[in-house]
Every structure is written in structure tokens, then in C-alpha cells.
């Protein structure tokens, strides 16, 4: 069992990283600055992390886990109350993404967005296993996941602009799209291609 003081110290170092990262990118950060910000010794820092990049990865992993938890909390409701489910994901993302150092153009973050979308699509798809038209619902799940993840990236992209994207408003827009897609899941009302006639 991990001691509470070890957990608190690790959290203290991670919080210091988040505060520093809000002021400067990790590439310009020094261990000395971090030690001062966290008020810990060099040996304490290295007892928890190999280097600043290991710390960054731990903060990112923590953020990713929080995103997945927010996703799981809202997943059960996403088909019957998409607004509440999507809003919880967007609000978590809005409150924590910038602090964790997420940047929309960073390759590590692109990989996260892809994993997040795949996880969301699988989770949505898994909830539809009893439906007859599984192919249409799998595609629908992927579309819903893509819309939600794109909303998250737009919140992040516009975070430091003059007109940031409000997560509640974004959730309303995305929820209306999800609702429209759920109302016509199989595409039965869509025109058939000429080859199918």
C-alpha cells in the first residue's frame, strides 16, 4: 500500500508542473524551477519521476484518466440525454486540458484524441449490441464519438482566444447533432443510390 505522504508529495509535484506549464512550455522548464515551485528537494523529485518529461507524461495520463472517468460517468445517459453526458465531458475537458499542458497541435495529444475517440466509439457501440442494425449503429457510434472529440479539441483550440468556446453552449450544439443522429439511426429515410434500385 502506498503511503499517504508519498501520494501527497507526488500530487504536489504534479500541481507545481501544471502551474509552471501554464507560464511556459515543458521544453523551457528546468528541474530547478520545478523544485522551487513544488518546494521539494531534488532527491524527492527523482524518487517520483525520471525527468520533467516523465512528469509531463504522468500529468497527461492523469488528465486522460479523468477524461475517461467523465466519459464513463456520462456514457449511460448519452443516448437518452445527450446534453448532460456531453456537457460533463466538455466541462471536464475545459477545466483540466489547459492546465495539463494539452496542445491541439502536439503529436502526443493527437494520439490521445484518437484513443479517446476509439474508446468512446467502442463504449457507445457496446451499448447497442442488442439492436438489429449493428452496422448502422457502429457507424453512428463512431460519428457521435467524432463529434464529441472534435468538440473537445475546439474547446482546447479556442481556450486562449478572444472568443473561447463555452463548454455548455458547445454541448448544446453537439447534443442536438447526436439527438438528430439517434432519431434516424439506420438511414432508412435516405435516398438509395442508383445501383441499389
The answer for residues whose C-beta is within 8 angstroms of residue 69's C-beta and 6 or more apart is none
Written as nine digits, the cell of 146 is 467524432
CB of 163 closer than 8 Å to CB of 139: no
**For residue 90, what is the DSSP state?**
H
The whole-number pLDDT of residue 107 equals 63
* pLDDT for residue 127: 54
CATH level 3 topology of 59-183: Tetracycline Repressor; domain 2 (1.10.357)
Q: Identify which of 30, 17, 89, 4 has the alpha carbon closest to the alpha carbon of residue 59.
A: 17
pLDDT score at 30: 93
* 197 residues of the chain, pLDDT tens digit each: 668 888 899 999 999 998 888 788 788 889 999 999 999 999 999 999 999 999 988 988 888 787 777 777 766 666 667 788 788 888 887 777 766 666 655 666 677 777 777 777 777 766 544 445 556 556 777 777 788 888 877 777 766 666 777 888 888 888 888 777 666 544 444 444 444 44
pLDDT of 33: 95
State the pLDDT at residue 27: 84
The C-alpha cell of 160 is what? 486562449
All structural domains of the chain with their residue ranges: 1-49, 59-183
d(CA 101, CA 99) in angstroms, rounded, equals 5
**Helix-helix angle 134-157:107-126, to 10 degrees:** 150
Confidence at residue 69, expressed as pLDDT on a 0 to 100 scale: 78
DSSP 196: G
> What pLDDT, on a 0 to 100 scale, did the predictor assign at position 98?
63
The CATH classification number of 1-49 equals 1.10.10
Q: Which three cell numbers stand for residue 92?
A: 471536464
Judge contact between 89 and 67, C-beta under 8 A.
yes
- Phi and psi at 173, nearest 5°, equal -65, -50
Contact present, 141 and 105 (Cβ < 8 Å): no
- Distance between CA atoms of residues 146 and 83, nearest Å: 16
- In angstroms, the CA 90 to CA 95 distance is 9
pLDDT of residue 45: 96
Amino acid at each position: 500500500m502506498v503511503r499517504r505522504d508519498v501520494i501527497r508529495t507526488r500530487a504536489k509535484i504534479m500541481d507545481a508542473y501544471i502551474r509552471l506549464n501554464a507560464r511556459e512550455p515543458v521544453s523551457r522548464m528546468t528541474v530547478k524551477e520545478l523544485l522551487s515551485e513544488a518546494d521539494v528537494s531534488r532527491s524527492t523529485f527523482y524518487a517520483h519521476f525520471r525527468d520533467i518529461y516523465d512528469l509531463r507524461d504522468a500529468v497527461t495520463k492523469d488528465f486522460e484518466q479523468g477524461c475517461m472517468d467523465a466519459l464513463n460517468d456520462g456514457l449511460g445517459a448519452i443516448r437518452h440525454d445527450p446534453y448532460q453526458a456531453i456537457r460533463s465531458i466538455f466541462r471536464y475537458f475545459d477545466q483540466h486540458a489547459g492546465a495539463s499542458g494539452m496542445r491541439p497541435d502536439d503529436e502526443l495529444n493527437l494520439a490521445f484524441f484518437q484513443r479517446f475517440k476509439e474508446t468512446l466509439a467502442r463504449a457507445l457501440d457496446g451499448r447497442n449490441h442488442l439492436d438489429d442494425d449493428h452496422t448502422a449503429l457502429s457507424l453512428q457510434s463512431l460519428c457521435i464519438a467524432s463529434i464529441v472529440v472534435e468538440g473537445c479539441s475546439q474547446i482546447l483550440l479556442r481556450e486562449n482566444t478572444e472568443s473561447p468556446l463555452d463548454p455548455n453552449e458547445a454541448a448544446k450544439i453537439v447534443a442536438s447533432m447526436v439527438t438528430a443522429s439517434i432519431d434516424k439511426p439506420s438511414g432508412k429515410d435516405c435516398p438509395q443510390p442508383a445501383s441499389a434500385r
